[in-house]
Every structure is written in C-alpha cells, then in structure tokens.
Structure 1
Amino acid sequence: MSELKMTGKQLRALGYPQGPVISISIDVIAQYYATATAEEITTILAKVLADPAAYTEDAVWAQVALALVPEARPEIIPLREKPVDYAVFGAGFIEEGTIRQLNSAVRLPVAVAGALMPDAHQGYGLPIGGVLATENAVIPYGVGVDIGCRMCLSIVDLPVDSLTTKASQYEKALKYKTKFGAGAEWKRNDEDPVLERDEFKEIQILRTLQAKAAGQLGTSGSGNHFVEWGVVSITDAHNEWGLAPGDYVALLSHSGSRGLGAQVAGHYTRLAKELCVLPKDAQHLAWLDLDTEAGQEYWLAMNLAGDYASACHHLIHKRLIAEMGATMLARVENHHNFAWKEVHHGKELIVHRKGATPAEKGVLGIIPGSMTAPGFIVRGKGETTSLHSASHGAGRQMSRTKAIASISGEEMRKMLQDNGVTLIGGGLDEAPGAYKDIHTVMAAQADLVEVVGQFQPKMVRMANGGPAED
C-alpha cells in the first residue's frame, strides 16, 4: 500500500484553520497513519475537528487537539517549595549539578521519595543514577530514552584457559554474531514471541515500529553498550545456582530496546510535555497520569520495550554460546532504565530507576565497571532509604566530549594492554579513564548490596564510537 500524503490544502478543505495545527496534523498523519486509507484518515480528522476536547489526552492526537483549542492547554504546574525526603549515596564524589537535578525532581507534586546512587551524573529530567517514587504517575524521561536498558550475564561451562588458547574463536564469535550501532539490523533474523504481542496491534505508535523491532532484535546500541567475554569469580559459597566457588567463563552484555524504545520514549515525552506543563528547568520531568489513556498506553509500551530488550539479550547470548559450543550454567540479568509498581511507605508507588539497579532484599543484579575494571554480581539488601536500589555501574566522571579531548588513543591502548583486554570497536568516549573508580562506588553502597561474584572483562565488543542510547 502506498503511503498516504495529506496536504495543508486538503486539511483546510476539511475545515482545519490556517495556523500551527496544519503542520502538526501533517506530522501526526505522516508518523502514525502513513499506510491508512484516505477514508480512514478523513474520518479521524473529522472526529478530532468536531470535538477536540475529547482528544486532548489522546496518545496520538493530543497535540492536534490542543492546537485546535488552545484554551484547553494546561497551565504551568508549580513545583513544591520544599522537596520530599531523599538520600544521596557517595555524595562526596557526585557533582553539585547532579544533586540539583534530583532536588528538582523531588519537588514535583507527584513525588513521594527519591534517592541518588553513587555513580550518578547529570542527564535529562532525572539524573543518571537517580531514583524517584511517584504516586500514580509515570515520567517518560524518568525512565530514560533507552527503555529497558539492562545487563545480562551468562556463566558457561568452558574452561577459563580457553579465553587464551582459543582467543581467536572468541573474537570471531564477537565479530560475526553481534551487530552494533544506531540502525543496525540483521538481514535474516530469528523470531521471538515478543514480536507477536497484542500491543503491536492495539497501540498506534507500536504498529509503526513492529518491522523495525523485528530487524533490530538481537542487536546492540552504540555508546556504552557492549558484549564481552570474561572471567567470573564466584565468591559466595551459598550462591543461588549451587556453583562451587571459583572461576568461570562468562558472557556479559549491556544494551536496551533499540529504536523501538527510543521512538516510544520520544513520543510519550512530547505528549507528557503537552499535558503536564512544568517550569522550564523541570520540563523534562513531565508526567503522565496512570488514570489517563495516555498514561496507560505508555505503561503498556514501556513494558513491551522492556521485554523486547530482554529478548535482544537472550538472542545475543544464545548465538554466542552456541557458536562456542558451550552450555549455560547460570544467568543473572536486570533492567536499569525502567519504572516499576512497588510498595514503599505503606502504599503502591511508581519507582523510576534511571540508571539504577533494583536491589530489593535477595534480588540479584549486575553492576559493571568499565572495559578494564571489574563488574560485580550483587544481591540486594532491601535498604529503604535507597528505595531498594543501587548503582548501575561506575558512572561517568568525564563527559564524552571531555574524554575524547583528554585521552589519547595511545593512552587507551596501553591501559587495555596493561589489563589484558582485547577491544573490538569502541571509542575514546568510552575509555576507562572516563569512568569513576568502581571500587569507590561499591564501597559507597555497601549498605545497599552484597557481592556474590566478580566479573573481569577479557574481550570487549562495542560500536565504533558515537552517542549513547541510554
């Protein structure tokens, strides 16, 4: 079916007034109704024009409706004068700007509690490493652009010395069984039940993204996303898998929901800003009420994106483990860009973790270091002041721009060589020196998690530089 084109002349003929609503309508039609029939699009345009007030909270048509009835646009919602309580872990090495960002978030009228993890640094809306609990409201930028960005670690039955004796085989597997970067797709891909989910049929924006999701399934993003082989040292004799303490080969990956998540995040963030107008310095914290159609749609789309991200990791691990002829012995995985319904302070709240690892008592997770520094398998302690959260990594101490300007290629090569790490791809923006000391970060959250094991990278695959997706 050819794509439907709608012009300003046609819209004016339907009764749409000259002004911004024309270009807004054309954009909505191009993005969400490109394959609709002329009759279908004319029918919905007529309905919106006849009763725009009925569409001011619609997930697709709200911007058009609000342009038709400007008086329906919400007034600016003021922040609280006094923030709700929040805890900061590792305050001594977190920049003041990052703390200011969280301080704005905990002044939202819907905020109930907050926390800042020791790897925190500035982002959009919530800082990276920020945790925010709200009542019946979800903040798209509180989840992040890369919805469901997560870690996945598989421990396998290969001998540790094979990382040296069969290094070329491991390297070949990483080169040819992974794909990295914005827009990366497999020409021939596996199927997965996540692609058959009803949300792809029921939510307009997801209908337009299903083909992209199918092509990108099992691929990784750019920036700090990686797939790497290394050695896991299990130190807890009472671990959940019954593995004997000692060293094992393991596969660790970090990435999220690819173009699907980015498009969902962008769409619902724009909608939230239309429906929830905040002061300029807090506008990225705009929320969607979960009692509205838009809020429910985002919640469903967010959960789908999270499940899609999980499926991506599982497919990556399946391909690489099969390529090496190995068997999986154990797996640990967790989101760190997501929102959950949890009970805190005696009531159900929406807990946003933007770059933070769930650390409810007894829950396992992965906290990576850098391409040369160790990562850690951790077990949550259920600390209430952190809202059952911990850091999602070491955290940046340099921006990407500063890292590229400050660290030379020779310095990076020497650091990799000194640590016995082979790097495939990657850029100076992800150099180990751009990150905080993971041991300092772990010490600052000793009350939040206990260490079950440690992962040391040996062979790392990343995209060839470029912006991160999370």
Structure 2
Amino acid sequence: MGSKLSGKDLVKIGFPQNNIVNTALGLITRYRKRENKETILLELAELIEAPQRFMAHKIWGKVSEGLVKPVEVRMQELHSHCAPFSIFGENEIDEQAKRQLYDALRLPISRQGALMPDAHTGYGLPIGGVLATENAVIPYGVGVDIGCRMSLSIFDLPGSYFKGREFQLKNILKENTKFGLNDTHRDKHDHVVFSRTEFQEIPLLKSLLGKAYRQFGTSGSGNHFVELGIVELQTVREEWGINPGQYLGILSHSGSRGLGANIAKHYTSLAAQQCPLPRHVQHLAWLDLASQEGQEYWMAMNLAGEYAQACHADIHRRLAKALGGNPMVTIENHHNFAWKELVNGEECIVHRKGATPAGKGVLGVIPGSMTAPGFIVEGTGNPLSLQSASHGAGRVMSRSACKNNLTKSAMLKDLEAHGVELIGGALDESPRAYKDIHRVMQLQQELVTVLGMFSPKIVRMDK
C-alpha cells in the first residue's frame, strides 16, 4: 500500500462514492499529510461508523456533516440579467474589466456592483471592482492579498526636514524596512494579534502562525512600497489638532503577506469544490456565510486584515524611532477586503477588490505613482459606488508590456526629473505603467473630497 491516501482507500472503508471523498482528501492534504496513512484510515473508519460523534471536530466536522446530511453539489447557473451597477470613468476602463463586472453581476447572489475609475482586468472580480452579495463571500472577490492596505503617518516634522538630510533619510528607510519572501527582521516584536484565538481554533491558521510571526513588520513584492515624502494638508479635521501646512510623512502599501495568500488559496479551493461555476467565471465561486467554511473564511479574513494593520503599525513604529519624530495623525484603510454593510436597507457582503471604502466622513488614502502625488480623502457616502472610491491610479500597462516597451534608464530619468530617490523597484512599477492620478481623481469628485496630498521623495520597494 502506497504512502499517499487515495479515493479508493476511502471507498474501501465505507465512504460513499460522491463529493465527500474529495472533501476528506482535501482536508487530509491540508492538515494531516505528514501523518501515518494507517492511523488516518483507522480514524476515518470510526467516523464512518458514527459520523454524529465528529460533528464538532475541527478537521472532520465538514466530512461528518456531509455524511449525516449529504448536500448535492451542482453547477450554479448565471442569471440572464445583471444586478444594478454604476461605472465611474467608463472611458478610462478596458472592456475586459467591464465584462468581468458584468459576469459578476449575473451571479445569483449578486445584488449591486460598481467599477472605480482606476479599474483594470483581474482574476474573477476586476481590480477596482465592488460587489454586494447576499449572505455569501467570494474569496477571489476579496483577492489573494487579503487586507492589502494604505497607511499614512503625518509627523511632527516640517516638510523642509528633507533638505540636507536626503542621504540620512535614504539609509533610515533602507535599514528599517524589509521586502519580499525571505527578508525578515532579526529583532521580532510581539503583538496582541498573535494571541487571537483563531490561530488555535482553525487548523489552517494554526499551521500559518509561524510564517505570520516571521514576516511580521515586512512588506510584499510587486507594487508594495514604503515611502518618505511631504504631506501637504489643505483641510484638517478638528480631532487632528494640527494646522494646514507641510509635514514629513510615511506612506506604506502592503497586505497580509503569506498568511493572507494561504488563506485565499485554501478557501478559494473549497469554494470551487462546493460552488461549481461555468469556466469563464470559476474564480467567482463563493462560500455561503451560513456554512462552516464560510464562517471560517470570514474569521480568517478578518484576522488577516488585523495582521496587515499590525504589520503597518510595526513598520511605522520602526521608522519613527529611527527618525526621532512622533506621528501626530495616522490615516489608513483596507482596499482588498469584504465588509457587512447595509445596501438599500438590507445587510449585504460588500467586496472591495482594489477599492477604497468611502462612506460619508470616512478617511482614506489613494496613492498615485512614484512620481505622482497620493491623496488624503474623505468619503461622501455615495450609494451608487457602494460607498467606495478608487484604490490608486490603476494600471494602464500590464507588467509584461512594461518589460517589453519600457527601459530602466528611462524610468530612472523620470524619477530624477521629479526629485524622487528609489531603493529597489522593478521596471513593471514604472510610473508610465499607471493612469494619470489627477484624471482619476477628477472622475470621482462625487465619491470623495480631497483634504491633502502626499508627494513621494524616497521610495523603497522590493528588488
């Protein structure tokens, strides 16, 4: 007998020949793959004999549930019509991204949608897409980088602090930030997020705790960054206790690292098994929030979001210590996440995949590119956009197109012309890869009010 369990092995001990076999094999692969084959078979034989006893089991609960109350898995059909939607900046958005939104709006769970002016093609829901669903969550509607977010700290240092200190500040940024898969901090700092009970109650999260701890306070690759720059506040909120003017700021963009990526992979696979869809929309498979998997994903997603927030706080703490300054105000927001919100008076799950929450009075940060300013914004609460706005300028050129059509020397000349220093950074993050952020902001004046701007001066990205 081989070392790897197969469906035939499970059928031999009494498993019915249906989808419950695939469910059991998937759980074995994720949680028990290093254990002895015979031990697992003995345990599963007990489960087959008395499945009710395993209903509350952390690993086998779903299998026992399927044996006691079998659920027929059948292909989901799309509606012939779309749920209501709005598109902002339609002429700036590629046709494929629009088609992706239309497909998502035909899901039987969809209630309303919107597309932001920075939108472009993604997987499943387009980047810049917003979708409200009824009692269901789409893992790919949130995205792989769960809790990807912006965080801006405004310091008690003037914007003029940069003059004569460029070399020093560049070293501070380089020495206190880590990027990519393997570059981690030697001095780890504990955080209350690691004591969350989900890390012990959900087997997948328990297996990811070590990775989450190792990567804490670091940033991802791709378009993730940490920047030092000048904040220009035009309008201030009373609770900030500061005056309009120019200040030194730190702006960071990253998500939940390997923790979120593994959560997304795991629950996307489960959704695909339980919610078969036509091939062209298979990435839109969903989990019913009333199901065990749906509840698990919801808890795991929220934990990943808190972890991402904690990572940003650690990044800003390290830099603040090196700078010798104190942040007076921090403005932050997720833009890859799902929330329970009221839509037309009914509670829905609002997915924002590359979109900024813009409820009335809600603060957020919308970045531009390395050579273009980001914007501090306050939401207007527009119901047509599902109280959302763009999450940035949005790509106008794919990563492969950048490599084929742009040069590193031209990118460096662009940066020099705008007085921006770059540490790391790949060609596919060239400012020319992005839409005009000023045009994007013009197209969403009814969604957000601009309070100020952030102009990058020193940018740190992965190599």
Quick check: TM above 0.5? yes
Which residue matches 2:140? 141
Which residue matches 2:331? 332
Letter in 2 for 1:375: G
Which residue matches 2:215? 216
Instruction: Answer whether contact 1:57 1:293 (CA < 8 A) is retained.
Output: no
Name stretches of at least 5 consecutive residues in structure 2 with no aligned partner: none
Which residue matches 2:358? 359
Paired residue for 1:7, among 4, 20, 23? 4
> Structure 2 vs 1, CA of residues 56 and 420 (structure 1 numbering), >3 Å: closer, same or farther?
farther
2:433 is aligned with 1:439: no
Alignment: residue pair count: 459
> Structure 2 vs 1, CA of residues 120 and 440 (structure 1 numbering), >3 Å: closer, same or farther?
same
Letter in 2 for 1:112: R
Query: How far apart are the structure 2 equivalents of 1:339 and 1:57?
Result: 27
> Structure 2 vs 1, CA of residues 346 and 42 (structure 1 numbering), >3 Å: closer, same or farther?
same
Query: How far apart are the structure 2 equivalents of 1:62 and 1:375?
Result: 47
Query: How far apart are the structure 2 equivalents of 1:453 and 1:313?
Result: 21
> Structure 2 vs 1, CA of residues 398 and 58 (structure 1 numbering), >3 Å: closer, same or farther?
farther
SS of 2:153's equivalent in the other structure is: strand
Query: How far apart are the structure 2 equivalents of 1:28 and 1:176?
Result: 41
> Structure 2 vs 1, CA of residues 184 and 21 (structure 1 numbering), >3 Å: closer, same or farther?
farther
> Structure 2 vs 1, CA of residues 113 and 242 (structure 1 numbering), >3 Å: closer, same or farther?
same
Query: How far apart are the structure 2 equivalents of 1:397 and 1:125?
Result: 19
By how many angstroms is 1:52 displaced? Answer: 8.2
SS of 1:157's equivalent in the other structure is: strand
Letter in 1 for 2:4: T
Which residue matches 1:227? 226
Per-residue CA deviation, residues 230-287 of structure 1 (Å, 9 max, x unaligned), is 0000001545413211100000000000000000000000000111111111111111
2:178 is aligned with 1:189: no
2:424 is aligned with 1:425: yes
> Structure 2 vs 1, CA of residues 82 and 181 (structure 1 numbering), >3 Å: closer, same or farther?
same
Instruction: Answer whether contact 1:154 1:317 (CA < 8 A) is retained.
Output: yes
Q: CA RMSD in A?
A: 3.0
Query: How far apart are the structure 2 equivalents of 1:254 and 1:423?
Result: 15
Which residue matches 1:86? 85
Instruction: Answer whether contact 1:66 1:72 (CA < 8 A) is retained.
Output: no
By how many angstroms is 1:47 displaced? Answer: 4.9
By how many angstroms is 1:55 displaced? Answer: 9.4
Per-residue CA deviation, residues 418-467 of structure 1 (Å, 9 max, x unaligned), is 00000000010000000000001000000000000100000000001xxx
> Structure 2 vs 1, CA of residues 56 and 6 (structure 1 numbering), >3 Å: closer, same or farther?
farther
Letter in 2 for 1:449: V
Instruction: Answer whether contact 1:16 1:22 (CA < 8 A) is retained.
Output: no
Query: How far apart are the structure 2 equivalents of 1:51 and 1:114?
Result: 45
Query: How far apart are the structure 1 equivalents of 2:278 and 2:199?
Result: 34
SS of 2:318's equivalent in the other structure is: helix
Instruction: Answer whether contact 1:77 1:277 (CA < 8 A) is retained.
Output: yes
Query: How far apart are the structure 1 equivalents of 2:175 and 2:407?
Result: 28
Which residue matches 1:113? 112
By how many angstroms is 1:322 displaced? Answer: 0.5
Instruction: Answer whether contact 2:159 2:231 (CA < 8 A) is retained.
Output: no
By how many angstroms is 1:169 displaced? Answer: 2.0
By how many angstroms is 1:111 displaced? Answer: 0.5
Letter in 1 for 2:357: P
By how many angstroms is 1:185 displaced? Answer: 2.7
TM-score by length of 1: 0.90
Query: How far apart are the structure 2 equivalents of 1:183 and 1:241?
Result: 37
Within a 5 Å distance, the mapping from 1:51-200 to structure 2 comes to 74-200=73-199
Query: How far apart are the structure 2 equivalents of 1:183 and 1:66?
Result: 40
Instruction: Answer whether contact 2:62 2:292 (CA < 8 A) is retained.
Output: no
Instruction: Answer whether contact 2:393 2:440 (CA < 8 A) is retained.
Output: yes
> Structure 2 vs 1, CA of residues 435 and 239 (structure 1 numbering), >3 Å: closer, same or farther?
farther
SS of 1:316's equivalent in the other structure is: helix
Per-residue CA deviation, residues 120-161 of structure 1 (Å, 9 max, x unaligned), is 001111000000001110000000000000000000112322
